[in-house]
Amino acid sequence: MLKKTMSMTADFLKSEAAGGIVLMAVAVIALVVANSPLAETYFHTLHLYVGGLSVLHWINDALMAVFFLLVGLEIKREVLTGELATWSQRALPGIAAFGGVVVPAGVYLMFNLSHPESLKGWAIPAATDIAFALGVLALLGSRVPTSLKIFLTALAIIDDLAAVIIIALFYTAELNLGMLGAAVAGLVVLFVLNRLKVKAIWIYLLIGAVIWFFTLKSGIHATLAGVGVALFIPLNTHKADGDDHHSPLVRLEHALHKPVAFFIVPLFGFANAGVALGGFKLEALLDPVPLGVALGLFVGKQVGVFAAATLAIRSGLAKMPKDTSWFQLYGLAVLTGIGFTMSLFIGGLAFATAPVLQDEVKIGVLLGSTLSGVAGYLLLRAARGAKA
């Protein structure tokens, strides 16, 4: 069982890291295309309507629901049988993630308090992009201890959970109670199937597609249907020997990793990272939204994560990751300021009807994430051979 768990973790880290490297390349390509002779075609294609939704909405509302399904599966597995299965394992990443949500939001609000139109963007710098961050760690190889990679994974998963809750509570439009009731009814059906120990994944996914449709029409963001469905996918099917490697949840998680890492998230990045810089002036970086987002990610994240982690370790609530120095822990805290995927996603929700502010969000996210990635990489590279 231990070997299988270690193998699953290794496979997960490898696929996420490789996906992060692909995502970096796609973000650069999107910027180049958006500022090339292909720009008109790029933006026109994204706003073409197919089946009642624009291409951009199909990507952000439908394909990203699959991304959130994977997020939900990872959260459930980690909490029940993985790196977050006990309170002692949850303590350090949980406390660090809390600091990494609160402080960046505070930094953003500090620059936007006098601008009511942009206050809704407070959560944009709150989440770490696990694919990007693990992609940077992959470039460092053995310089970073495995325990630190696991800590980053756990922290990012808790970050994602916080982002899901924030989206549900603060970025929901007017509710259609009838449609919401139908979506909840679908979840009840999944609950019954789970209790009956139904193992056929296709049944859960078929009902999940129906739940997604009703969620889309309810006013709650459709991607949250992915998380809801994930919670009812069975995990343990071999309780006698404790082997969950072939459970429906683990099989679905493995099946989704590569499509999500190498197709869905890069496609989302390509569709959402492109911003035309033709009329952009450097002084625009000092506008409240890009400045709040960039500093929220680059400054807020590292301060929040490192301060909270330090407090947890010094107070005895948590232990330092094995073979990790304070310098390495700080370097990792800086790296958590890479907020690409979830930050762009929340930015699109916050300013859905304000294209100018959306572009400012993209600039802030790209700047803050780039600074965090480069600085985190250099710090962790310099920390080679350090001992805790």
Structure confidence at residue 205 (pLDDT): 96
Q: Which residue has the tokens 């989440």?
A: 127
Q: What fold does the segment set 18-172+221-382 form as a domain?
A: Na+/H+ antiporter like fold (1.20.1530)
Q: Is the backbone of residue 51 left (phi > 0), alpha (psi -120 to 50) or beta?
A: left
Structure confidence at residue 386 (pLDDT): 46
Structure confidence at residue 249 (pLDDT): 93
Helix ranges, 243-354 (H): 248-259, 265-273, 288-295, 301-314, 326-335, 340-350
Q: What is the pTM of this model?
A: 0.80
Structure confidence at residue 11 (pLDDT): 58
Which residue in 266, 276, 298, 268 sits closest to 364, CA to CA?
A: 298
Beta bridge partners of 83: none
CA–CA distance from 337 to each of 71, 205, 226 (Å)? 19, 34, 25
Residue spans per domain, the chain: 18-172+221-382
Structure confidence at residue 222 (pLDDT): 83
Structure confidence at residue 187 (pLDDT): 95
Q: Which residue has the tokens 């600085």?
A: 375
Tally of CB atoms within 10 A around 246: 11
Using CA atoms, how far apart are residues 182 and 180, in angstroms rounded to an integer? 5
Structure confidence at residue 160 (pLDDT): 81
93's CB contacts (< 8 A; 6+ apart) are 83, 84, 151, 154, 155, 157, 158
Structure confidence at residue 145 (pLDDT): 85
Structure confidence at residue 17 (pLDDT): 61
Chain CA centroid to CA 195, Å: 30
Structure confidence at residue 9 (pLDDT): 53
Q: In this structure, what token pair is assigned to residue 20?
A: 């992060």
Structure confidence at residue 277 (pLDDT): 76
- What DSSP element (H or E) covers 386? none
Orientation angle between helical segments 301-314 and 87-112, nearest 10 degrees = 140
For the chain (388 residues), the mean pLDDT of every run of 10, in chain order, is 54 60 86 91 92 89 91 86 79 93 96 92 89 81 82 86 85 83 95 93 96 90 88 73 69 90 89 78 82 96 96 92 90 93 88 89 92 94 63
Q: Which residue has the tokens 């020997």?
A: 241
